[in-house]
Amino acid sequence: MTLPEFLYHIGYSIKKNHVLKHQKRLPGPVISIGNVTVGGTGKTPATIAVAEEAMKRGFSPIILTRGYRGKTEGPCFVKQSAVSSQQSDKKNKTNSLLITHHSSLLYGDEPVLMAERLKDVPVVKCADRYEGGIFAINSIAPSLHHSIIFILDDGFQHWRLHRDVDVVLVDGLNPFGNRRILPVGPLREPLSELKRAGIFVITKIKNEALADELKGINPDAPVYFSEYEMHRIRDKEGNEFQAEALRDKKVHAFCGIANPESFRQTVLSLSGEMSGFKAFRDHCKYTEADLMFLERQRKALNCDYLITTEKDMVKLRELKAPDDVLCIEIGFKVRAAFFEDVFRRIERSA
């Protein structure tokens, strides 16, 4: 272990041990969706899928998220959903905002994306997820309290909050990078901490060797495989396009996500010809200059469309993206047994 890794591990251990001594429990079941690495493993599509499944089963899900890089502080709803200002607890009014508009700058990319996809699910932004959960409980109709279930976005390292199910996602294409902890590698904590996981989901490809490794670390946690599937293609106004519409078109793709190669492969599977590809940094805050550059590239390559991710489109709309920009919405496809497992554990903890 290098000196930077050693120092990080000391800080990590001190923080973890301190927080665990003061761990709090919300008045409702908590499902955590997380990972052990920095970077994209598909947490947002998985969170959306679990919330949708929860609604099908009669629950009232509430998503608790940190809202990475979002500037708004304190607990707030990323959008107004099944909540009204009349229902808001008066004690929280000075600390909360009931949002009726979206802004990735204020709330972060992923929270806005989840709020747009899940029209009837409250998405609460707060660094302290326990505080966010209590805020949500105090802000909704009492009649819903018996059916509330909390979904903790990116929660595997959020030790201060008790969870009933820990779902850990692992990238099947690049599971652990160089297998070193921060700041030398992508691991947020040592791989031995995967013993805390309740359920593993390997994303993107069916990596049997990785499944065997995970079972070796934590034999009690079942391993499921998931893949991305195209949910739909749409423009900035929400108008839908059939996948076949891209088959005979030339496209220039771009994205600002942790794993651009995964998106590039998705576009290649849909388009007749991808004439160009531009990878911006993860969580890129696009500017008008970026859009001008991309539009020039599209014209120079004689492309029909610019195509990007759903998360990137959230930010581009705020810059008045050109009409020829399309985005691909991605869904989380997994066996039904995964959901049965998750909600069976919730019922046991009730």
Residues 266-303 as b/e (b if ≥16 CB within 10 A, e otherwise) read bbeebbeebbbbbbbebbbebeeebbeebbebbeeeeb
Tell me the average pLDDT across 52-58: 96
If one compares 288 and 202, the residue with the highest pLDDT of the two is 202
pLDDT band at 102 (very low <50, low <70, confident <90, very high): very low
pLDDT band at 108 (very low <50, low <70, confident <90, very high): confident
Residue type, 273: E
Lowest mean pLDDT among 54-63, 69-78, 165-174: 69-78
pLDDT at 350: 66
The tokens for 168 are 């850990």
pLDDT band at 46 (very low <50, low <70, confident <90, very high): very high
- For 227-247, the pLDDT digits (tens) are 988 888 998 888 888 877 788
pLDDT at 272: 65
pLDDT band at 84 (very low <50, low <70, confident <90, very high): very low
pLDDT band at 93 (very low <50, low <70, confident <90, very high): very low
- For 269-315, the pLDDT digits (tens) are 887 678 999 999 988 889 999 999 999 999 999 999 999 999 999 88
d(CA 29, CA 317): 35
33-42, 145-154, 337-346, range with greatest mean pLDDT: 337-346
Tell me the average pLDDT across 158-165: 95
Q: At what angle do helices 109-117 and 43-56 cross, to 10 degrees?
A: 30
Q: Evaluate whether 164 touches 155 at the Cβ level (below 8 Å).
A: no
Task: Give the torsion sign (CA, 24, 196, 122, 105).
Answer: positive
In the predicted model, what is the mean pLDDT of the chain?
A: 87
**Of all residues in the chain, what percent carry a pLDDT higher than 90?**
63
Nearest to 164 by CA among 28, 342, 350, 31: 31
SS3 281: coil
Tell me the average pLDDT across 209-223: 98
pLDDT at 89: 41
Residue type, 7: L
Q: Residues near 60 by Cβ (< 8 Å), separated by ≥ 6?
A: 54, 82, 140, 144, 147, 148, 149
pLDDT at 94: 32
Q: Evaluate whether 64 touches 150 at the Cβ level (below 8 Å).
A: yes
pLDDT at 79: 63
Report the run of H or E that residue 73 belongs to, with start and end.
none
pLDDT at 209: 98
Nearest to 333 by CA among 49, 114, 78, 81: 49
pLDDT at 145: 79
Q: Is the pLDDT of residue 218 over 90?
A: yes
d(CA 154, CA 60): 20
pLDDT at 269: 83
pLDDT band at 99 (very low <50, low <70, confident <90, very high): very low
> Peptide bond before 183: cis, by omega within 30 degrees of 0?
yes
Q: Evaluate whether 329 touches 308 at the Cβ level (below 8 Å).
A: no
Q: Is the pLDDT of residue 347 over 50?
A: yes
Q: Evaluate whether 96 touches 124 at the Cβ level (below 8 Å).
A: no
pLDDT at 62: 97
If one compares 269 and 332, the residue with the highest pLDDT of the two is 332
Q: Evaluate whether 300 touches 292 at the Cβ level (below 8 Å).
A: no
SS3 179: coil
pLDDT at 88: 37
DSSP 161: B
Q: pTM of this prediction? A: 0.88
pLDDT at 101: 43
Tell me the average pLDDT across 147-164: 95
Tell me the average pLDDT across 252-263: 90
Structural domains for the chain? 3-226+333-349 (3.40.50.300), 231-330 (3.40.50)
Tell me the average pLDDT across 210-239: 93
pLDDT at 243: 77
User: Rg (Cα) of the chain, in Å, rounded?
Assistant: 21
